[in-house]
Each structure stands twice: as C-alpha cells, then as structure tokens.
Structure 1
C-alpha cells in the first residue's frame, strides 16, 4: 500500500458518497481521520487501514446497492470494478462484525465464502475501533454511545438493531484492545 492507494480510496469514496449521501461521507471522513491518527500502531499496514477506513461504507452508495448489504456490495464493487486487492476487500467486507449482520440477512455463507475474515486481528480491531468511535457526522464518540445511537436510529427490532446488539460485546472488546494498545505506545 502507498499514499497513492489512500489518495485513490479518498477520491473514490468522495465520488460515490459525497453528493448522494453527504452524512455518510462525513462519517467516512471521520473514520479515515481516526485511521490516520492510529496508523502508527500498524506500521507497514497503516495505509491499508486508512484505505479500508475510507472505503468501508462505499457500498451504501445508491448505485452500488445490489444486495442492500453495504459491506458485501462495497467489497464486490471494489473487487469487480477496480481489481482491489484481497486484503482491502476482505477488510471492507468484514468491517465491524459484518458477518453477524450477514447472518441476520441470510447472507452469511455468501459473505464468508467470497470474503473470508482477514487473518490480521490488529487490522480488524483497528478498523472496528475507527468505525465504532466515530459518529454519523464524523465526530468522536465512545463505542457504547455509538451502539446506542445505531439502535436508536434503526430500531431495536430491525435487522441492524438486532445485529448491533449481538455484535456489541465484540465491538467493545475490540475498542478496549485498541485503547490499551494506543495507551501503551510511546508518543
């Protein structure tokens, strides 16, 4: 990965999200900003984290919504239209415990077979941390507040509400691990 990849990711996400869903674009910019801030923990994989953070919600773009499940739609778009590499598309497809939401939507086998979970748990934790500590408007929040906001926005009995409540313990664990790793890092 390189600065060119992160620039490409930013340009692509902006083109797909900024006009049709500006609030999602604001969230994306916030998540990418968090990734940039914590990139030092990832060393050589910092650019991969930033690119994944920038593209994690591209599947919400109306023209890309084929299944209506944004992690799968986004990963397929990146793979099929741009030939994006496997590490990037697997992160996008599996961000923030998407497999649990895929289960709620009857898409678990499809997601798992096309885009297996990444092996690098630090990258997975880092992307969850960036996504789940960023508000819909791109500001900072706690993971607990973010989960509460998602349940409130979608409704507790919705697919997303059920998924996020199932995923919450794992989300909180990821965020705790990342906060500990960040606290342990010399500045």
Structure 2
C-alpha cells in the first residue's frame, strides 16, 4: 500500500509540475530521493515521508495557486480534491517551517486552523531535511547553501527572503536533529 501511495503521489506531482514547472518537478524528485535515504529515521512513516516529499511543492502548480502560498494551496488541493490522508496534508501544509512564511503573508491563523502542525517532530524535521538539502535542480546540497540560494533567488527583502532568513536557525537545527537520529551519518 505504501508503494501505491508513493506511486500515486509521484504521478500526481509529475502531472501538475513537470510541464509548467520542470525545475520545480526536478526539485520534488530530488526531495523524494532524499526521503528514501531517511527510511531508518522515518520507520513505519517512511512511505508517508516519501509521499509528502514528492508532493510538498505541488501548490506551485499554476492551476492550483489560489492564494499564492504554495503550502496552503497544495494542502487544500490534496485534502479537497483527493481526500488525502490528514497527516499527509498537514505535512505538505507545514513543510519547511511554512508557519513562519504564512505569518509574513498574513496567513498564519488560516494555516494553523486548517492544518495544525504534526506532533511527530522527527517526521516534520525529516521533511525539512529533505527539502532544505536539495537544490532547485534536485541535487544534494547543504542546508546553509540552500538557504543562501533561496535568499539570492528571491532577494533578502522579499517575503520569502525575510521568511527564510528568520527560519534558518530552526532549519539548521532540524537538519542536525535528523543527522543525529541517523547516528551522525550524512543520509545519501
């Protein structure tokens, strides 16, 4: 069943992202690949992590961008159109400290009300790790280089630039917690 869910998610993400946003699709594939390496950390939730990893940016798809805030748009699409598992939509909605960006956009209360953050910190951290150690082209990188790339791409004073600079200490801490859970090993 996990394999079916991951296959479904991969096809859905491909359908929504590959044509209009090929680079976003490459990133999503890279994030999903990172998730595979975290199976020892995720345990029974490894299929959920892999599914969330490939779907985390689906809200960027042009036809889904209702609010312009991709975590919220993607989670609503998965919940409302696909009736997806609550844990999945909550992971997508809250990936990579999205609450902080929601705050910058005046959407924090909406995001928190519709999609409360999961209490499984290691699973949340694992998705942060996967996203924040993958380049826009789907290649492995460090979290520090990824944050710097995001600031460079969006600009330090943009909503995304302000958010990512504010979130950086917690991103780095989440990455370190995942590394510690892996016994200090760098997941591939």
* Length-normalised TM-score, structure 1: 0.97
Say whether 1:3 aligns with 2:15.
no
- Is 1:25 paired with 2:25? yes
Distance 1:31 1:149 in 2: 16
- Please show how residues 24-173 of structure 1 align to structure 2 within 5 Å: 24-173=24-173
**C-alpha separation in 1, matches of 2:83 and 2:124:** 21
Question: Secondary structure of the equivalent of 1:82?
Answer: coil
CA distance in 1: counterparts of 2:164 and 2:184, whole angstroms: 29
- Per-residue CA deviation, residues 113-136 of structure 1 (Å, 9 max, x unaligned), is 000001100100000000000000
* Rounded Cα–Cα distance in structure 2 between residues aligned with 1:111 and 1:184: 33
RMSD in angstroms over aligned alpha carbons?
1.2
**Structure 2 CA distance, aligned partners of 1:20 and 1:36?**
26
Structure 1: 4+ residue segments shifted above 6 A = none
Q: CA deviation at 1:86?
A: 0.5
Provide the aligned length of Structure 1 versus Structure 2. 186
> What is the distance in 2 between the residues matched to 1:71 and 1:162?
17
Match of 1:150, SS state, is helix
- Kept in 1, the 8 Å contact 2:41–2:178? The answer is no
Task: Name the CA distance, whole Å, in 2 between partners of 1:171 and 1:41.
Answer: 17
For structure 1, the residue ranges without an aligned partner over 5 or more in a row are none
Q: Is the 2:75–2:89 contact (alpha carbons within 8 Å) kept by the matching residues of 1?
A: yes
User: Shift of residue 184 of structure 1?
Assistant: 5.2
Gaps of 5+ in 2: none
Cα distance in 2 for partners of 1:183, 1:25 equals 30
Q: Shift of the alpha carbon at 1:27?
A: 0.2
